[in-house]
Chain A
Amino acid sequence: MNAPVPGLAPTTYIGQDTPRANARRLLAGRGQYVDDLRLPRELHAAFVRSPHAHARITRLDLSPARKSRGVFWCGTGADVARAVSPWVATLTHFKGMKSAPQYAVAVDRATWQGEAVAVIVAQTRAQAEDAAQLVEVEYEPLPAVTDMETALDAATPVIHPDLGDNLAFTRGVDTGGVADVFAAAHLVVEDTFRFGRHTGVCLEPRAITADYNPSENQLTVYLANQAPHMMRDIFAKHLDIPEANVRVIARDVGGSFGIKVHVYPDEMAIVGVAKLLGRPIRYSADRLESMSTDIHAREHRVRAKMGVDRDGRITAIEIDDLTGIGPYSVYPRTSAVEGNQVVNLTGAAYDFRHYVANLRVVFQNKTPTCQYRAVGHPIAMAVAEGLVDHAAQKLGIDPAEFRRRNLIADDNYPYTSASGMKFEALSHHACLDKLLALMDYPALRAEQKALRARGIHRGIGLAALIEVTNPSAAFYGVGGARISSQDGCTLRLEPTGWVTAQTGVTEQGQGTEAMIAQVVASAVGIPVEHVRVITGDTDTGPYGGGTWASRGAGIGGEAALLAGRELKANILALAGVILNRDAAGLDLRRAQIVDAATGEPVLPLAEAARIGQYRPDTLPREFQPQLSVTRQFGQRDWPFVFTNGIQASYVEVDPDTGFVKLLKHWMVEDCGTIINPLLVDEQLRGGIAQGIGAALWEEVLYDADGNLKNGTLADYLVPMAAEMPDMVLGHVETPTRSSELGAKGAGEAGTAGAPGAVMNAINDALLPFNARVTEMPFTPERLLRALGKIA
């Protein structure tokens, strides 16, 4: 005993697999999702929803519902509009963009199947649903605009006559002289790619409890959401309540993926009804409501061509993207971003200078679309990667070799793409090399060839990718949207020497709280177990943007790092005063104040904290310890900090049935500094699974009249355990210099690249049949049609 304490070395949790502290309660069934909450005097809401894609409401009689058991209140669109003002979702930097005013509950006219036309409030959910069935609504069906290909035709009805046409937004890019470059090309490949409209399918449906207290004009909203401060601003504006009186709380969120970052009319209605009634109102979407009212995404048709020279170098790309977004642009991020991303990102992993892109975003009478995980990326990547494999095949060049010739060189940064995207530093070639090594690419090709000779048709598909992360205000702020691109972190030194951290970035299971704890613990010099992280409450903690565009680690993590360094400096200043030593000679390691040179502990942090909190009387009059700090960070060096990566898919196609079996999936990516490899890998795997879903199964189907045909999980297919392959992951780390931490985002790269990789793998398998598929999802029917086995 009393053995000399060895000097403590500085420790860091950056780069360590640290399990998430908050996962324990989820594993015990003690999560606190919105629908788990019970408030005194709460009432339950249910909606009457339009069975028509487009119809005028000619009569709406609530009186039978009002007499139903347990019913407390019923309202129409006009009733709810007394509390909630309508909105128009445009961004000023999208020149010429237009949309129509949207109400929380439809007034006079429904514009998609599933739009709410009345709201019922009752003692229980079942009673509200019973009463909803009694509401008498008469509709005059109007022609539904469903096919985006004809949405702009003169003969097609205009959904919002005041707008003049069904065009929400259009944008063109032309670098000049592109036609000449195509004319001079050794080879031009052309394809038309179609992407099935799909949706996020969070396992936790959208859920809200709104509690309005008229005596204080105070609104508290418990919401499954990614951006509490954005919602607070919107509730304040559209309910005419001072923003300071609005509190948004997002506790545990059961998956979001971009679904829970938008303004939903039914959620606005719940908040409005809470204000009208002065009682807590609960609502949780059921699965059919989720399928018909959660935002959809990705209904795109892209005509694309690529010019290539004799050496297999890309000389030009041209795309024409048509996308249908439903009847309204979604508030406040707008529904033009996805198409805009397709224009920005197509081919942007490659070194070429000539580019033409045209985008048309059109209205239709289907569920509104908006930003869903990897916004636009899966489309842009699949288009470019499909063209690349097509060109490589025509030239007889191995797809990996074709990419090696065309990916932007690793020493060619900073680089500005033909579409104008600015890249700080990417590592396409390092990632390609690592991927091919992980796959043992030559051996896999040999295996493929040998099996093909035996009538087993396997395919290998590659897909390079880039991902938008750590956005500046360029995404939304410049367009007038009140969505913060900065985030903050507040740290409080507790008298025990532990630290409480509050952050504006939110937790949906990706591990935000664990990530923040690791950064804070490393920066302050304490065990990670001594950091408690609080997220998702606008009444506490600093203002910030929340979680979207893969910004949590890069923006929120940097704020935590800066705050941690500041708190450490304050602690060392306090220790210096207590010890009567120069603080510059001290350090904080593993909760001990140490001599910086030797690592010898000189004062426990808990003792310094105790003195700082309880005995400032023992400190000199002129020294005031500062034991709480806030630091904020907004990334301002680049519009976006891009990441890169590459994926590979290995599939087996049964040419008799058209079934695709996923055998294996690989991915190497570069998200800069990796804070927690365990969490990064899970982001990649989960993202890949979502991308695979888009490639093989997921599509929201409508008939020509705009009727949703697959509104249950028995009909809409999602990736399940039995179909999913094991995934092999690798990393390259190129930290961004736009922050001290160097972390970029990792949340969307998996989804960005997987559809293209799977498509290329299928087409590689189909090569001997001279068949090719470019319409997702790649159902057995579509494969058999491509194979000429069915008409």
Chain B
Amino acid sequence: MNQLINVTLKVNGTEVSRPVEPRTHLIDFLRNELALTGSHAGCEHGVCGACTVLVDGEIVRGCLTLACQLDGADVVTVEGLTESGAIADLQTAFHLRNALQCGYCTPGMLVAATAILGQQPPATREEIREHLSGNYCRCTGYEAIVDAIEETAKARAAGRALAQEGA
């Protein structure tokens, strides 16, 4: 239990190396070792989605992933997505639609949403609801979140269509 394993991985574009206990979950590694507190621990059972981050481009649960599994991995959190501007449109849509209240689920919602924003044709409301079925929000009743993601998905699809016409 006390034996430490050295891991080297990329987090939000920066390489980090740390010795970790085998039992350390990714969410605790991010929050406690790297002070990336945007991702949250909610249920610790992989049900609520508050700890959702990207690992090698796939959305994963930070509470079900061990840090020692991630040697060589590329991890992106809400902080990274924010700094790169990759989800600026989605964040603005959330803001204008008030698709968050307490904000605790929001980083996980945003990261989870990235996986369907590129879909062509854009995801329907039903598909968005289904896709978010692993992300718990106690505050909003979800409708505003679905609205914001739907709007962003449509805008991105229209933008791509325009870009293709122009090409």
Contacts and interface: CB of A to CB of B under 8 A. Distances in A.
Contacts of A23: 94-95, 98, 100, 103
A26 B103 contact: yes
A255 B91 contact: no
A626 B38 CA distance: 41
Interface stretch (B65-73, B74-82, B114-122, B153-161): B74-82
Contacts, number: 172
Most chain A CB within 10 A, of B102, B106, B133, B144, is at B102
A27 B35 contact: no
Interface residues of B, number: 54
B46 to A, nearest CB: 8
Contact of A29 (B2, B44, B48, B82): B82
Contact of B103 (A252, A286, A678, A682): A252
B132 A722 contact: yes
B152 interface: no
Contact of A20 (B36, B50, B98, B140): B98
A202 interface: yes
A186 interface: no
Contacts of B62: none
B144 A682 contact: yes
B139 A712 contact: no
Contacts of B123: none
A200 B44 CA distance: 17
A14 interface: no
Given A31-B104, A254-B104, A721 B37 contact: no
Interface in B45-100: 45, 47-48, 50, 77-79, 82, 91, 94-96, 98, 100
Contact of B94 (A27, A686, A724, A727): A27
Contact of A203 (B50, B77, B125, B132): B50
A255 B102 contact: yes
A745 to B, nearest CB: 16
Contacts of B40: 33, 203-204, 254
B105 A203 contact: yes
B38 A286 contact: no
A508 interface: yes
A719 to B, nearest CB: 8
Contacts of B133: 720-722
Contacts of B128: 721
B57 to A, nearest CB: 19
A509 interface: yes
B104 A510 contact: no
Nearest to B79: A29
A605 B132 CA distance: 48
Nearest to A665: B141
Interface string A19-41: 11001101111110101101000
A690 interface: yes
A201 interface: yes
A26 B31 CA distance: 16
Interface string B18-52: 00010100000001000111111011110110100
Nearest to B80: A29
Given A26-B100, A38-B35, A682-B144, A713 B129 contact: no
Contacts of B47: 712-714
B48 A713 contact: yes
B143 to A, nearest CB: 6
A29 B107 contact: yes
Contacts of B102: 26, 202-204, 252-256, 508-509
Most chain B CB within 10 A, of A205, A509, A679, is at A509
Nearest to B149: A721
Contacts of A688: 141
A388 interface: no
A222 to B, nearest CB: 14
A612 interface: no
Given A26-B106, A27-B106, A253-B102, A686 B136 contact: no
Contacts of B11: none
19 contacts: A33-B104, A202-B102, A203-B138, A204-B104, A252-B102, A252-B103, A254-B104, A255-B104, A509-B102, A511-B98, A682-B98, A686-B139, A713-B47, A713-B48, A714-B45, A718-B136, A720-B133, A721-B129, A721-B145
Interface of B: 2, 21, 23, 31, 35-40, 42-45, 47-48, 50, 77-79, 82, 91, 94-96, 98, 100-107, 110, 125, 128-130, 132-146
Given A29-B38, A203-B40, A509-B102, 9 more contacts: A20-B98, A23-B94, A252-B103, A254-B104, A255-B138, A713-B42, A713-B48, A721-B133, A724-B141
6 shortest interchain CB distances as A-B pairs = A29-B38, A26-B103, A509-B102, A254-B104, A509-B101, A685-B141
